[in-house]
Structures are given as C-alpha cells and as structure tokens.
Structure 1
Amino acid sequence: ISKVKTAALKGSPQRRGVCTRVYTTTPKKPNSALRKVARVKLTSQVEVTAYIPGEGHNLQEHSMVLVRGGRVRDLPGVR
C-alpha cells in the first residue's frame, strides 16, 4: 500500500477545474521570488493549490484550467 503523490487527481493523468483564487506566494528559505499560484476546485470536488508556470498568464477567478500532477519544490503545500 503506497501513498499516492497526487491523491486529488483520483488516479487520472490530468484533471479539469475552476480557479477560485489567483494570487502570489513567496518560496521557502534560500529562494526569493513572487510565485504565481491558483486555488483550483477540481471536477472531483477537491480544492487544490496549483502552480502557474511560465512568464505571464491570463488566469482570473472562474477560469477553466487543466491541472497536471507533481509538486513545486520550493512552495510548501503546492502539488
């Protein structure tokens, strides 16, 4: 019995969801930046924090997004 890294995806490779909040956070100790993240309510009714990669984005509240598994190493709680 192994603990799943991305339990919120319910075993699927990606999951669709709706942004409930788009904001920035700061990474933990040796790094310094304003990382863009979003609270996403998935179709599996789970609310997760998702990282927004790349330079610039057009996400707002109520945007539909496709969430992929994995984690961001320097942001605690973002998977």
Structure 2
Amino acid sequence: MPNITLLVSPSCGACPSAKSLWKELRVKYSFSYREVDITTPDGQELAERHAIRAVPATIIDGRLTFIGVPSRQSAEKALEQKIKQRQG
C-alpha cells in the first residue's frame, strides 16, 4: 500500500483541491494518507528534507512526486505504478 503525504498550508488557495483529489482517490485505491501543515515542526522538517518551496506538495513513499495540484490522470498513474512495484 503506497504512503501519501500531502504538505499543505492554511493560507494555500490550491490546497483544498489537492486534499479533495487525494481523498477521492482513496475510494478507488488503497493507500495510507496523511496531511501535514507546513507551518508545524513536522511540516518544516518534511519541507527541508525534500527541499519543498511551495504547497501543495505530494510525497509518495518518501519521494516528492508532485508540486501543486496534480491532474487526476497523473495522480492515478503514479499510484498505479507504486502498486505494481509493490506487487511485482
């Protein structure tokens, strides 16, 4: 099961769209999901570790995969690749 971490900010205008996308995809795909506020110590640590300068930022299995709101097609493709890697 892939692990999705979405780095967000309370003042981010695009973050609600990214949150909605990942929550919708959880209905179709099985993955663990958490949201981390960039203004928290955990969020700051993630941002520094991955050199993130903008939110929303999606980290899949410990790797920065998307900055901004990915298209549904791109997000699904990334999930499908991760699921196949784990199965194969």
* TM-score normalised over the length of structure 2: 0.22
More helix as a share of residues:
2
More strand as a share of residues:
1
* TM-score normalised over the length of structure 1: 0.23
